[in-house]
Structure 1
């Protein structure tokens, strides 16, 4: 990958996630951390980001622009997440207790379940705020340590809150998915929370847009067979469609929602 392509990819990630991590970018693009830091220096000089310890965040001025995007590709990326949210919401029945993991994809699920009578458990402050005015939704935000530059809660206190409770369905967002390394997330503490959630859930459902496949995050969550249902997009690489079919994993895509 040429340097200019890598810079554009970093910009796309920043627009989608508002923050990036040097180590994760180094792994994703198969270059040294020194190279990534130089890339971030260039983008900071252009006013696109602000460097932080171990990474960078989107420049507040860009973050406040309602139409800030990297073009048609980024807009489509956001729309695909919205479609995943609509599919997932249809799987939730009144009276159920569900877990929504931290992240923008599960946030889209939250935006589509406000008319239901359910209990929602989450470790994402943003999801809690999204559901605060939903009359039929009982929202429980598990406490814990706040991951810097995010709305995600993790740690021992969060794990303790999960003891002795059960949920019908757990919708888990992931950082990456690969045939050899399985599902991965950005933080080890996050993996611990989601593994415990998987243990207390009757059904696990992975929600991941197509860009997450053939990507590896920092911490391993589990095999690709840990969930019997996956919600993604029609752009999913064919090797994963074949693998899921062979492993009897039900695949739901956004094709019918375009």
Structure 2
């Protein structure tokens, strides 16, 4: 029986998670784990590579060089995965706001979910995420878009509808926020906060620079301990990391030791 589109999408998303933990796993083992043929797994892997949904990076360890498979979290395939985790993380982030706050939210699929959970008066959200238009903000929340160039399909093939460019950067430079809530592609104690999208680096950096109080990173367990291609902040600039209870305990501990207050929501 042919798999449904939803089943294929879920299998490919799960394959990415397996590869992230064990990039050297055999084709036969993947086929056995997902109860499909090796040719099906081969098609899945080719699809993920062709669509630039997975990439590889090499890091040095005591045992030599290790190749890691890194998912492109903002791809179409990954955008609608880990929904439960994203919603719970977003709800926790919203609870940390106060009435009257001005809040930066970036183009992340986790960060944008914060908007509908804000239940305080006179909160202003400034975002470069055009998907904010589809979030059900309460009447007491004002949402302002930065404007700028809309990236529908950017360098990693995503459809985040992120606003970038000179206009978006200028808007952020001229508004001081109390709180900055950013989603990321990776965060680690060693390298800091990173993104898979080169186009968005400057906007993310300016949001951090233009925040007077809290910088909050929202990231599900897949992104903890991950170093993506483009670093946009040192870990020392982060006040809070909100993740879930499935995050790697060793990596979480390393981040805590850097002075970051880590909050883990229970799944």
TM-score w.r.t. structure 1 length? 0.71
Name the structure 1 match of 2:150.
Answer: 146
Name the structure 2 match of 1:227.
Answer: 238
SS at match of 1:236: coil
Cα drift, residue 177 of structure 1: 1.9
Aligned residues: 212
Structure 1 contact 183–222 (Cα < 8 Å) conserved: yes
How far, CA to CA, are the matches of 2:180 and 2:201 in structure 1? 14
1:186 is aligned to 2:196: yes
1:107 is aligned to 2:86: no
Deviations 1:63-94 (A, max 9, x none): 9xxxxx8xxxx5xx221111101111101111
TM-score w.r.t. structure 2 length? 0.69
- Correspondence for 1:83 among 72, 81, 88: 88
Distance change >3 Å, CA 114–CA 176, structure 1 → 2? same
1:92 is aligned to 2:97: yes
Distance change >3 Å, CA 116–CA 129, structure 1 → 2? farther
CA RMSD in angstroms, aligned pairs only: 3.3
Distance change >3 Å, CA 140–CA 245, structure 1 → 2? same
Name the structure 2 match of 1:2.
Answer: 26
Distance change >3 Å, CA 25–CA 90, structure 1 → 2? same
Distance change >3 Å, CA 197–CA 124, structure 1 → 2? same
Structure 2: which 5+ residue stretches go unaligned?
A: 1-24, 32-39, 59-66, 154-158
How far, CA to CA, are the matches of 1:229 and 1:108 in structure 2? 17
1:134 is aligned to 2:145: no
How far, CA to CA, are the matches of 1:57 and 1:250 in structure 2? 31
Name the structure 2 match of 1:199.
Answer: 209
Distance change >3 Å, CA 2–CA 155, structure 1 → 2? farther
Name the structure 2 match of 1:247.
Answer: 258
Structure 2 contact 106–204 (Cα < 8 Å) conserved: yes
Distance change >3 Å, CA 211–CA 189, structure 1 → 2? same
For residues 57-72 of structure 1, the aligned pairs below 5 Å read none
Structure 1 contact 178–213 (Cα < 8 Å) conserved: yes
